[in-house]
Chain A
Amino acid sequence: MRRWLAATVVASAAAVLGAGPAAACGGLIGPRGGVNLVKTTTLAGYHDGIEHYVTAFKFLGAGGQFGSIVPLPGVPTKVERGGDWTLQRLVREVQPPVAELADNAVGRVAATSASAQVILTAKVGALDLTVLSGGGTAVGDWAREHGFVLPPDAPEVLDFYATRSPIFMAAVFDGNAAKATGQQLGDGTPIHLTIPTSQPWVPLRILGLGRQAQERIQADVFLLTDRQPSLLPLDGNPGLSLERSESASGSLLADLHNDKSMDWVPTSSMWLSYLKVDSPAGSLTYDLAIDAHGGARPSPWAAGFGADQVALGGGVPGPATPAKDRGWTAALVVLAVIGAGGGLAGLAVATRKR
């Protein structure tokens, strides 16, 4: 009998997350693992050279610890509690009328060898957040030494990100502490990271961490930028589609601006992009590069492409198409109920047997 202090694994992206059939909060880990997947939603906003990540970790009621590792495009200058309704408001902005969806929602929630260096730590509710700098191996070592049990694809995925940015955030959610403080099942803990960077990108590949190659990854990604961005991957990528690309409504911006720690959001002249990821995990080998400066040259490097894998020039994912599929509707409902989208991933600290 092999007992695993199984920690947690997870991955999270600053991208919004997924919904859909696999969206169900569960299952990153196999049988008998007692795994509770933490489902989160993320907004990647970019304004005046600052990238803002807003994501949420959802309390699913289990005891023990859950964890997540999120690659970041730069060193955050601030990690704080996020707004209370930002993520929910974004979901509402892009989904059909709530009344039409309410019934569907019911029951759906169910690189280097040197040591990693801790750049900053923060505690937000029952979340212990640690921002790390180091290569993939160093960050993996740190995670293992701190109780994370990483899936077999973690070494490659961590290296994939570390070659672009050696910055990661490890999040540990203490379920026992949440219970002790009266946190209720389904409560989310939003966090907000402020990251100065000239080249924003949104991690997508991390969404597939720990998944089987054929498992579908479905995610919603919201972007708020000063002007219409150019995005990479290019047109025709079957796993990523641009569903909305429009000037953000005044009501949306006002609602976001008035949320806690969201006063960075201008009340006018912002562009809202809404993308859906729907891809087998094995094919989701890229990230989303954003050129928000009007140069129409999103970086292949920022998207995680090798020089031989992409044509230069950038582009925008396929045009928005009307949502015909009720499956997506359901997916959005899940997000609405959970209040999220987003990055995600996580495993519970559990006892595993083999």
Chain B
Amino acid sequence: MLRRCGMALAALALAACGGSAHAGPPVPPVPVPPVTVQLRIHHSHFQPDVLALPSGALVRFVVTNNDPIDHELIVGDDATQNRHEFGTDAHHDAPGEVSVPSGATRTTEVTVRTGFEYACHLPGHYAYGMKGTIRLR
């Protein structure tokens, strides 16, 4: 019984210290700048079509459309991709989703997670191969 009480007190003490070596007001976390990725669209394909990114990182996608047709960039998991492939969304204002008109450069930021890919879901574009793989490291 005494042994159990001792362990509980020790745990409380650690919690009170917050794991810090110094006492005092909490220090706000320093923002971590996003990882920037440059994507190019050419002949209805993304270049590159495979990205290696840190797991859980905030990633800023800068995508340039060199085609004479419009495209979009959708970064997300299967559910997100399916929603855009079969859904009716007209506007892309969520993180990781952006329309990219012909000749334009657009940016979007999203935190990448397991199972994410990037793609364009304008009619026929995904089936044509307009998609890319994200590998987390």
- Knowing A144-B102, A153-B128, A156-B44, say if A352 contacts B123 (CB, 8 Å): yes
A158 to B124 alpha-carbon distance, docked (Å):
17
CB 8 Å contact bits of B61-95 with A (1 = contact, 0 = none): 00000111110000000000000000111100000
A212 to B68 alpha-carbon distance, docked (Å):
20
A33 to B87 alpha-carbon distance, docked (Å):
15
Minimum distance in angstroms from A308 CB to a CB of chain B: 20
Does the CB pair A141–B124 fall under 8 Å? no
Tally of chain B residues near chain A (CB < 8 A): 22
Minimum distance in angstroms from A158 CB to a CB of chain B: 7
Closest residue of chain B to A3 (Cβ to Cβ) is B90
Find A354's partner among B44, B67, B103, B123 (CB 8 Å cutoff).
Answer: B123
In the assembled complex, B125 has its CB within 8 A of some CB on chain A: yes
In the assembled complex, A97 has its CB within 8 A of some CB on chain B: no
Does the CB pair A155–B67 fall under 8 Å? yes
Does the CB pair A29–B123 fall under 8 Å? yes
Does the CB pair B67–A151 fall under 8 Å? no
Minimum distance in angstroms from B78 CB to a CB of chain A: 18
Find B68's partner among A30, A33, A137, A354 (CB 8 Å cutoff).
Answer: A137
Find A154's partner among B42, B66, B69 (CB 8 Å cutoff).
Answer: B69
Minimum distance in angstroms from A71 CB to a CB of chain B: 15
Q: Pull 26 A–B residue pairs with CB atoms less than 8 Å apart, ordered by A.
A: A1-B90, A2-B90, A137-B66, A137-B67, A137-B68, A139-B68, A140-B67, A140-B69, A140-B102, A141-B68, A141-B102, A144-B70, A144-B102, A151-B128, A152-B128, A152-B130, A153-B128, A154-B68, A154-B69, A155-B42, A156-B43, A156-B44, A352-B123, A353-B88, A354-B88, A354-B121
Chain A to chain B: the 6 pairs with minimum beta-carbon distance, closest first: A140-B68, A152-B44, A156-B43, A152-B128, A155-B67, A2-B90
Q: Name B's A-contacting residues (CB within 8 A).
A: 42-44, 66-70, 87-90, 102-103, 121-125, 127-128, 130
